[in-house]
A and B are shown apart, each in its own frame.
Chain A
Amino acid sequence: MKHNIRNIKWIINEWRSHKLMLSLLLFLTLVSASVTVTFPLIIKKLLDTLQYMVERPEIYSDIGPELWAIIWLFIIVGLVKLTVSTYPGFRSLMNTTFEYVLRIRYFSEILKKDFNFFNIFRTGDLVTRLTSDITDFPKIAWFMCSGIFRSLESFTKIMFCIAAMFYLNWQLTMLTLIPLPIMMIIFYITSNKLHNSFKKNQEAISEINNQLEMSFSGIKIIKAFVCENKYKRFFTDTLSKRFKTEIRLVTLNTRIRMIYEYIDYFAQIAVIVFGGIMVVTNDITIGTFFAFYTFLSMIIYPILDLPQLFVSGKQAFVNIDRLEEIKNYPIAKPVIPAKNKLSKIETISFEDVSFSYSKDEINILNNVSFNTKKGERAIIIGPIGAGKSTILGLLTGLLTPQKGVIKINGIPLDEIDLVDFREKIGYVPQEPFLFTGSIKDNIIFGKDSVSDDLYRSVLDIVQMKREIQLFKEQDSTRVGQRGVTLSGGQKQRLAIARALLRQPQILFFDDITASLDADNEENLWNDISKQFGEITCFIVSHRLSTIRYVDNVIFLDSGYLIAKGQHDLIIKQYPEYRNFVTGSRQISS
């Protein structure tokens, strides 16, 4: 209950910024409902007038002023209704406005989150929360306007109709409304079953999808082991399960639709029997009889529709919670602006740094300490799982240490303006992630304006110039979704270009050399030395040959820093390092 109130408050809060629009909607809803109720009343008037005139043929032989008045009444009410008829359009405009506002707001929240958040929330899940959770019928955006106002419309319609019926004849109203609750109960009982059956069918569908995916991805194995025909067996089983759930779903669905469609017929039986008797006994007129008949068919659907408010509300509340969960997930280290800004990065040091992704997990890094100076190139090396990439994550502020401090120019990283600091670094991730757009868009991703010279020289350094010439649209060639497919090496080099274009003071390469061959790598380092002489580099690598191009080696094993220093020195001092290096190469001798 408390939880519902919180969500209702949330919605009211959202409504506050759209007061004018919502009042307009309220007004239009009331007008539309009352106009709708007027029609059966005018028809009643028409029938009664005609009946009266038919019984007096000597006076009335043609359309007189009485009928003209009714015709004008029809036209006036019709025009009023026509004027307000676009109001569902306003409703849906509000829906899409809410959709838009919420999506942008919560997307901005996501952008502020750190690794803890992305460890817990998967991409697919977040995308669902920002798209179908908001957009789909009958979820948040729909519920916030259409859901609520439609129910309001249904409610006013029902009330107006019942009021009109009571006004016409209260006894007949009582008699005709009696069967409705019974039918409604049957309807809701069946609807509840539907939900269950629907869920089962969904499960059967996703099982089939899973199996299809597995089979098609593993087609080579299936073929190589010549088991196509035997393999079919499991699919047949799943299909027959699906067959059953589908049939059950269709049966239930049809039953509900039948009740839905026939429920007003049953209410009309009461009108025909009781109303018919009353007409015969002259208790009501033919017009009233017909008006009751029409009113009943008018209120049936709104009555069935009304509880939908609670069903869709439940759904929307769940989705609102899912959005709020995003917003409320704590950030380990909130960004506080107006801290120290550095102009030049002189020294970087790790002091006794330990890190783990969560309290329950073992440490990825244990008491790691080292110093580097401006212009130094360091390779971070060690077996898989040694914590190499974690060091880069910590240095860039994507991760925060549990223990120890990272200092830049002697100032702890916490006390440095992170946005400003990040302006001074270039980072190339392990998986070269490119965004949908042109090649150029991707390279200049980190900059608002770029000089042509710089752009071209960066392309030169990553040795992409010639390859780009080969594309039909050169650097306007689209990559990413529906774009050309680049090789892993090409993507990697674009990612390097993207980082270099920022003219950073520190470069972080997370295991990038795997996609460069020996010649290319040599050229890359030579060019970087030439054009970015002062740059500090941290390179995570698996390829020992990269050691040739660096000043120092940081050797890690299972989260411990084993050695730091020049290759030639530490290979003599540290047997662990010697084993690691020679162990990999013993066979070549």
Chain B
Amino acid sequence: MEKKKFINFKMIKELTPYIKKERWLFLSGLTMMLITSTLRLIDPLIIGHIVDKVVPDNDIGKLYQFAGLFVTVIVLSGLLTYYQVILLSKMGIKIVTRLKMQMFDKFLHLPVGYFDHNPVGELIARVESDCENVRQLFSDLSVTIFGNLLFFLGMLIVMFLRHFNVTLLLLIPISIIIISLFLLVSYLGKFYRKIRELNSQITGIITEYIQGISIIQLFNQQKRVISILDDKSKIKRNTDARATFTEYSFWGLFGFLIETVFIVILIYLLAPQILLGLVTLGTLIVFIQYTQRIFWPLIMVSENINQIQRAFASIYRIFNILNLSSEYDVDKGNEKHKYQPIRFDNLIEFRNVSFQYKEDELILNNINFCIKKGEKVALVGASGSGKTTTISLLCRFYNILSGGIYVDGIHINDFDLKEWRKKIGLVLQDVYLFPGDIRENIRIYDDTIVDEKIFEALEYVGASEMITRLKNGIATEIMERGQNLSVGEKQLLSFARAIVFDPEIIILDEATASVDVLTEKKIQKAMDKILEQKTAIIIAHRLSSVIHSDKIIFFHNGNIIAAGTHNQLLNESNEYKKLVNLQFLSHKEAG
């Protein structure tokens, strides 16, 4: 995938507005780079001049002049290099921060379906690693590449000016070395990719074995897993050894060429001319110094080629994401801003609703049911039968394939998406807590919700006692994944969150998490309370909690096979009876 063809003008065009915004940083950085690359050429020339001019004339005054010049050049080029790196890096960081912000914003507004197909780790990598790769383009990379190429060209020019013929001859071995250098880099690239791959395999193997340690011990398979790890590690060591030996042999040859072959060629070509007085000793010194330095810029560039490729592959991915349309865009585009006002006085109807995540895999098949205002409706059925999908469609997380959901006769797609979701209070099975304190977790960063309202909500769900126990009250920071709260406490917070926004409809994916009896009772009480005044849809995993619902809808493989009250269903549906049997012992056996 990550080929060079990704370096194209389209991507540069996409980046241009970002660079334009920082054009002063960009231009001044570039100018400084030009100057510093030139200054780096000077010091061998000064040595040459000292040898040619100062020594024969025995002129100490001139020596001080050259020394002064040398110091000036060093200080000047040092300062300029410093500011050039700082300015370009600053630009890179600025651009990347903007990119990250935009990507985060984009992700927040993408449809939920996007998150089903892309694991969280991938998404983080998109924001973090891809943006950081781009940043390289503006700091280290651009400096090394442009700076070093300029330096290389500069050296060639000075050498041509000093001695045209010798330089022309030297061009032959120089170009051979350049070509083999680039061949080597791409050859080694393959090795290093393989080593990285092996490394991650080894990490994977070890992780798995440690996670499954009790299985390995109980099945007496220690020897087997050691030998698997041993094999993989050996392959890695051998690959590693081959790569490094190839690389160092090349560097050895390379060193031989510049330290020995080039100098011998130089002596052979220049010595006769020096003896004839056609060329100065200083020129020889300049040539020796330059030939020893001329390849380092190229090595630096060649080492960075992979990074450039990576950066452009990242740019490609970043703009692919930024160019996706958000769910509000889709919504607005379809409805042309003609939203119906939301009124929910009577009925929510599912009419012939079908839905599939993947082509030809119907998850919901022609679903029909209705919910009256104020009713409590329970969805039951095995996992995978379509309960969660049903409530996701009601929240408009996905687009319905055919049929529709109507609220007092109006299709929910005719409502403004945001306004519609504000009518719903969602409580998920896995309680989701955000980084931040309890206050922010309940009001989800909505400043318009004042503390009093938060306390009210906590009191309502019976969580105020737990808050008073905390030293910082609602300002208590929640640790990663809510480690400082019990399962029950987390559940209560998610109830408080659902009612603080005062929704008309509550959707509850009932928790099956292991909680102790006491907490379970507390949660049940809170649940009953928050459902009191609302229309509620409950996904039930345990029948015991929903048998008193106004209506139970029994899902099976994407169909509704029965609907009614608990007693109705017990009489009418064999499948329901079976489900009851599965969860409880039958009457007779219980004795």
A526 at interface (Cβ–Cβ under 8 A)? no
A574 at interface (Cβ–Cβ under 8 A)? no
Q: Given the complex of chains A and B, what is the CA–CA distance between A375 and B241 in angstroms? A: 57
Q: Given the complex of chains A and B, what is the CA–CA distance between A545 and B584 in angstroms? A: 7
Quick one: CB contact mask for A128-168 with B, threshold 8 Å, 1 for yes? 00110001000000000000000000000000000000000
Is there contact, CB below 8 Å, between A481 and B208? yes
Is there contact, CB below 8 Å, between A209 and B582? no
- Inter-chain contacts of A54 with B (CB < 8 A): 274-275, 277, 281
Interface residues of B in 228-276 (CB under 8 A from A): 229-230, 233-234, 236-237, 240-241, 244-245, 247-249, 251-253, 255-256, 259-261, 263-264, 267-268, 271-272, 274-276
Quick one: CB contact mask for B429-446 with A, threshold 8 Å, 1 for yes? 000111110001000111
B529 at interface (Cβ–Cβ under 8 A)? no
- Inter-chain contacts of A242 with B (CB < 8 A): 97
Is there contact, CB below 8 Å, between B260 and A78? yes
Is there contact, CB below 8 Å, between A280 and B58? yes
- Inter-chain contacts of A61 with B (CB < 8 A): 272, 275-276
Is there contact, CB below 8 Å, between A108 and B109? no
Using known A-B contacts A96-B237, A111-B213, determine if residue A585 contacts B70 with beta carbons closer than 8 Å.
Answer: no
B421 at interface (Cβ–Cβ under 8 A)? yes
Is there contact, CB below 8 Å, between B207 and A384? no
Using known A-B contacts A89-B241, A92-B240, A131-B203, determine if residue A74 contacts B220 with beta carbons closer than 8 Å.
Answer: no
Is there contact, CB below 8 Å, between A86 and B120? no
B345 at interface (Cβ–Cβ under 8 A)? no
Interface residues of B in 419-434 (CB under 8 A from A): 421-422, 424, 426, 428, 432-434
Is there contact, CB below 8 Å, between A67 and B267? yes
Is there contact, CB below 8 Å, between B89 and A277? no
B581 at interface (Cβ–Cβ under 8 A)? yes
Is there contact, CB below 8 Å, between A214 and B435? yes
Is there contact, CB below 8 Å, between A250 and B86? yes
Is there contact, CB below 8 Å, between B253 and A585? no
- Inter-chain contacts of B515 with A (CB < 8 A): 384
Using known A-B contacts A111-B217, A220-B397, determine if residue A62 contacts B275 with beta carbons closer than 8 Å.
Answer: yes
Is there contact, CB below 8 Å, between A568 and B591? yes
**A125, closest chain B residue (CB):** B210
Quick one: CB contact mask for A539-554 with B, threshold 8 Å, 1 for yes? 0000111011000000
B309 to chain A, nearest CB (A): 23
- Inter-chain contacts of B81 with A (CB < 8 A): 258, 261
- Inter-chain contacts of B277 with A (CB < 8 A): 54, 57
Q: Given the complex of chains A and B, what is the CA–CA distance between A124 and B288 in angstroms? A: 53
B299 at interface (Cβ–Cβ under 8 A)? no
- Helix, strand, loop or mixed for chain B's interface? helix
Is there contact, CB below 8 Å, between A93 and B244? yes
A438 to chain B, nearest CB (A): 14
Is there contact, CB below 8 Å, between B234 and A100? yes
Q: Given the complex of chains A and B, what is the CA–CA distance between A568 and B590 in angstroms? A: 8
Q: Given the complex of chains A and B, what is the CA–CA distance between A249 and B78 in angstroms? A: 19
Is there contact, CB below 8 Å, between B587 and A589? yes
Task: Tell me the count of chain B residues lying within 8 A, CB to CB, of chain A.
Answer: 142
- Could you say which of B100, B112, B543 contacts A239, with CB atoms under 8 Å apart? B100
Which of the 9-residue segments A14-22, A39-47, A339-347, A353-361 touches chain B?
A: A39-47
Quick one: CB contact mask for B570-585 with A, threshold 8 Å, 1 for yes? 0000000010111111
B480 at interface (Cβ–Cβ under 8 A)? yes
- Inter-chain contacts of A205 with B (CB < 8 A): 128
Is there contact, CB below 8 Å, between B206 and A130? yes
Is there contact, CB below 8 Å, between A62 and B272? yes
Q: Given the complex of chains A and B, what is the CA–CA distance between A112 and B74 in angstroms? A: 61
Is there contact, CB below 8 Å, between A57 and B275? yes
B340 to chain A, nearest CB (A): 18
- Helix, strand, loop or mixed for chain A's interface? helix
Is there contact, CB below 8 Å, between B445 and A127? no
- Inter-chain contacts of A97 with B (CB < 8 A): 237
- Could you say which of B50, B127, B253, B501 contacts A82, with CB atoms under 8 Å apart? B253
Which of the 9-residue segments A407-415, A425-433, A453-461 touches chain B?
A: A425-433
Quick one: CB contact mask for A372-408 with B, threshold 8 Å, 1 for yes? 0000000000011100000000001010000000000
Interface residues of B in 197-239 (CB under 8 A from A): 199, 202-222, 225-226, 229-230, 233-234, 236-237
Q: Given the complex of chains A and B, what is the CA–CA distance between A276 and B585 in angstroms? A: 103
- Could you say which of B55, B120, B252 contacts A213, with CB atoms under 8 Å apart? B120
B2 to chain A, nearest CB (A): 19
Is there contact, CB below 8 Å, between B217 and A422? yes
Is there contact, CB below 8 Å, between A135 and B199? yes
A491 at interface (Cβ–Cβ under 8 A)? no
Q: Given the complex of chains A and B, what is the CA–CA distance between A47 and B52 in angstroms? A: 12
B90 at interface (Cβ–Cβ under 8 A)? yes
Q: Given the complex of chains A and B, what is the CA–CA distance between A61 and B104 in angstroms? A: 75
**A436, closest chain B residue (CB):** B208
Is there contact, CB below 8 Å, between A226 and B421? yes
**A131, closest chain B residue (CB):** B203
Using known A-B contacts A216-B107, A232-B108, determine if residue A225 contacts B501 with beta carbons closer than 8 Å.
Answer: yes
Is there contact, CB below 8 Å, between B516 and A429? no
Interface residues of A in 560-589 (CB under 8 A from B): 567-568, 571-572, 581-582, 584-585, 587-589
Q: Given the complex of chains A and B, what is the CA–CA distance between A232 and B58 in angstroms? A: 72
Is there contact, CB below 8 Å, between B255 and A429? no
Quick one: CB contact mask for A474-498 with B, threshold 8 Å, 1 for yes? 0000001100000100000000001
B330 to chain A, nearest CB (A): 13
Using known A-B contacts A231-B445, A262-B74, A423-B220, determine if residue A254 contacts B82 with beta carbons closer than 8 Å.
Answer: yes
Quick one: CB contact mask for B539-563 with A, threshold 8 Å, 1 for yes? 0000110010000000000000000
B101 at interface (Cβ–Cβ under 8 A)? yes
- Inter-chain contacts of A211 with B (CB < 8 A): 435
B283 to chain A, nearest CB (A): 11
B105 at interface (Cβ–Cβ under 8 A)? yes
B35 at interface (Cβ–Cβ under 8 A)? no
Is there contact, CB below 8 Å, between B139 and A250? yes
Which of the 9-residue segments A2-10, A264-272, A462-470 touches chain B?
A: A264-272
B547 to chain A, nearest CB (A): 5
- Inter-chain contacts of A498 with B (CB < 8 A): 219
A177 at interface (Cβ–Cβ under 8 A)? no
Is there contact, CB below 8 Å, between B267 and A227? no
Which of the 9-residue segments B10-18, B60-68, B151-159, B348-356 touches chain A?
A: B60-68
Write the residues of chain B forming the contact surface with A, with a CB cutoff of 8 angstroms: 43, 46-47, 50-51, 54-55, 58-60, 63-64, 66-67, 70-71, 74, 78, 81-82, 85-86, 89-90, 93-94, 97, 100-101, 104-105, 107-109, 112, 115, 120, 123-124, 127-128, 139, 199, 202-222, 225-226, 229-230, 233-234, 236-237, 240-241, 244-245, 247-249, 251-253, 255-256, 259-261, 263-264, 267-268, 271-272, 274-277, 281, 284-285, 288, 382, 384, 395, 397, 418, 421-422, 424, 426, 428, 432-436, 440, 444-447, 480, 497, 501, 514-517, 543-544, 547, 578, 580-585, 587, 589-591
26 contacts between A and B (CB under 8 A): A57-B277, A62-B275, A92-B248, A93-B241, A96-B236, A99-B237, A107-B209, A108-B226, A118-B213, A123-B207, A126-B206, A127-B207, A221-B432, A227-B444, A265-B43, A272-B46, A276-B54, A276-B63, A289-B50, A293-B47, A383-B517, A384-B515, A422-B218, A436-B208, A587-B547, A588-B587
Write the residues of chain A forming the contact surface with B, with a CB cutoff of 8 angstroms: 39, 43, 46-47, 50-51, 53-54, 57, 60-63, 67, 70-71, 74-75, 77-79, 81-82, 85-89, 92-93, 96-97, 99-100, 103-104, 107-108, 110-113, 118, 123-124, 126-127, 130-131, 135, 205, 208-228, 230-236, 239-240, 242-243, 246-247, 250-251, 254-255, 257-258, 261-262, 265-266, 268-269, 272-273, 276-277, 279-280, 286, 289-290, 293, 383-385, 396, 398, 419, 422-423, 425, 427, 429, 433, 435-436, 445-446, 480-481, 487, 498, 502, 517-518, 543-545, 547-548, 567-568, 571-572, 581-582, 584-585, 587-589
**Extra A-B contacts (9), CB below 8 Å, given A235-B101, A445-B215:** A92-B240, A107-B229, A110-B213, A127-B210, A215-B104, A227-B445, A247-B90, A498-B219, A518-B578
Q: Which 5 A-B pairs have the closest CB atoms?
A: A85-B252, A78-B260, A585-B584, A446-B219, A224-B426
